């Protein structure tokens, strides 16, 4: 009745932005991501009669309110499958700052879903696990897989064809690196969930996003499969800017960038101009992630670490999918 799982975060190269069903978490568009080896969440879940109600601790703090409700909803999904009403104790630890745009909800819900299903003795396949994780947080469905994953949007109303699948394992492209820099580790004010919903509702750019995202998917998918770095970086950078353009033009506008974010973007462009080929991508937060080849990663990381704006730098490569662990947190 107790299990522990670890899942790595993932960063989208073609972003998931917009839902067509908010309850089931069904996306408007497919997305593609790289699972990162350096950033992960470990979660222990225990179901027992000794627990009077669900109790959730993340990074040493008991969670309450909306954050607790989201975890309880996910536990309810798993309980329904296992036909049990037992309450759970859940303890989770991130090795990076949560809710600062480093995809903690992706690794968090992937780890929670695997730990909870295992603790209740359910044996489910990755595809099903991905669909369950999706209902906790959309991007979590991609963290079930290592390497490179595509979340296929699907078209069914019940979400039965909306899940992630692996495009390539981590061994496919070990020369590809992603440098994650943290410019401010504060929790963000507008969560991705609210931002995305408002954007779909009223950004005049949202239609252009949907009209061009298939092209981005095709370019990024092909670039991964054929290891074409320039094509990958160019398409990913453009895709991130388009997503932010939809946010900048929603009412009221949402600007996740901090002055430090722009400084970082300019630095990436500068390095590129100097012949160090690299590209940026940014999610629902101020953090800039740099896509580059491993041979340049040390040089780029050193340069980024030297910037006054940067608090922390993680040099990542494609990492493993969600897995069980024997390192119990309680």
Asked if residue 145 binds ligand DP6 (CB under 6 A), the reply is no
Asked if residue 154 binds ligand DP6 (CB under 6 A), the reply is no
Measured from the CB atom, is 16 or 206 closer to ligand DP6? Answer: 16
In the list 7, 9, 16, 143, the residue contacting ligand DP6 (rule: CB under 6 A) is 16
Measured from the CB atom, is 31 or 87 closer to ligand DP6? Answer: 31
Q: Is 122:115 a contact under the CB 8 Å cutoff?
A: no
User: Residues 278-307: x/- map of binding to ligand DP6 (CB under 6 A)?
Assistant: -----xx-----------------------
**DSSP secondary structure string for all residues of 10-23:** EEEEE----EEETT
The C-alpha atoms of residue 78 and residue 289 are separated, in whole angstroms, by 33
CA atoms within a 13 Å half-sphere pointing along the CA-CB vector of 89: 11
Return all residues near 190 (Cβ < 8 A) that are at least 6 apart: 254, 256, 284
Asked if residue 146 binds ligand DP6 (CB under 6 A), the reply is no
Neighbouring CB atoms inside 10 A of 218's CB total 12
Measured from the CB atom, is 46 or 283 closer to ligand DP6? Answer: 283
**Looking only at residues 160 through 219 of this chain, which bind ligand DP6 when binding is defined by CB under 6 A?**
192-193
Closest approach of Cβ 309 to ligand DP6, in Å? 21
Q: Applying CB under 6 A, which part among 120-128, 136-144, 208-216, 271-279 lies near ligand DP6? A: 136-144
Reduced to 3 states, what is the DSSP secondary structure of residue 184?
coil
Burial of 96 (0-12, 13-18, 19+ CB in 10 A): buried
Chain residues binding ligand DP6 by CB under 6 A are 12, 15-16, 25, 31, 105, 137-139, 192-193, 283-284
């Amino acid at each position: 009745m107790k299990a522990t799982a670890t899942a790595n975060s993932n960063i989208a190269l073609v972003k998931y932005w917009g839902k067509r069903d908010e309850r089931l978490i069904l996306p408007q568009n497919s997305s593609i991501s790289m699972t990162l080896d350096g950033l992960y969440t470990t979660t222990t879940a225990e179901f027992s009669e000794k627990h009077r109600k669900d109790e959730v601790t993340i990074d040493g703090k008991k969670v309450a309110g909306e954050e607790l409700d989201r975890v309880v909803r996910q536990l309810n999904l798993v309980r329904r499958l296992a036909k049990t009403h037992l309450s759970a104790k859940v303890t989770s630890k991130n090795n990076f700052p949560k809710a600062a745009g480093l995809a903690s909800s992706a690794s968090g819900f992937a780890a929670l879903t695997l730990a909870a299903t295992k603790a209740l003795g359910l044996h489910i396949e990755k595809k099903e696990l991905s669909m369950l994780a999706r209902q906790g947080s959309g991007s979590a469905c991609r963290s079930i897989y290592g390497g490179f994953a595509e979340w296929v949007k699907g078209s069914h109303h019940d979400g039965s064809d909306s899940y992630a699948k692996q495009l390539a394992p981590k061994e496919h492209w070990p020369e590809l690196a992603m440098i994650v820099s943290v410019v401010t580790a504060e929790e963000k004010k507008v969560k991705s969930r609210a931002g995305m919903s408002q954007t779909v509702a009223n950004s005049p750019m949202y239609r252009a996003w949907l009209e061009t995202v298939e092209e981005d998917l095709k370019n990024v998918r092909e670039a991964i499969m054929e290891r074409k770095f320039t094509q990958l970086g160019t398409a990913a950078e453009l895709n991130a800017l388009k997503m932010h353009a939809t946010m900048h033009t929603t009412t009221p506008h949402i600007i996740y960038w901090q002055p430090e974010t722009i400084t970082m973007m300019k630095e990436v462009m500068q390095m590129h101009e100097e012949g160090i080929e690299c590209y940026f991508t940014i999610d629902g937060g101020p953090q800039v992630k740099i896509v580059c080849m491993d041979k340049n990663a040390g040089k780029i990381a050193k340069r980024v670490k030297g910037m006054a704006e940067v608090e922390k730098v993680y040099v990542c490569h494609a990492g493993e999918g969600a897995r069980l662990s024997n390192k119990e947190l309680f």
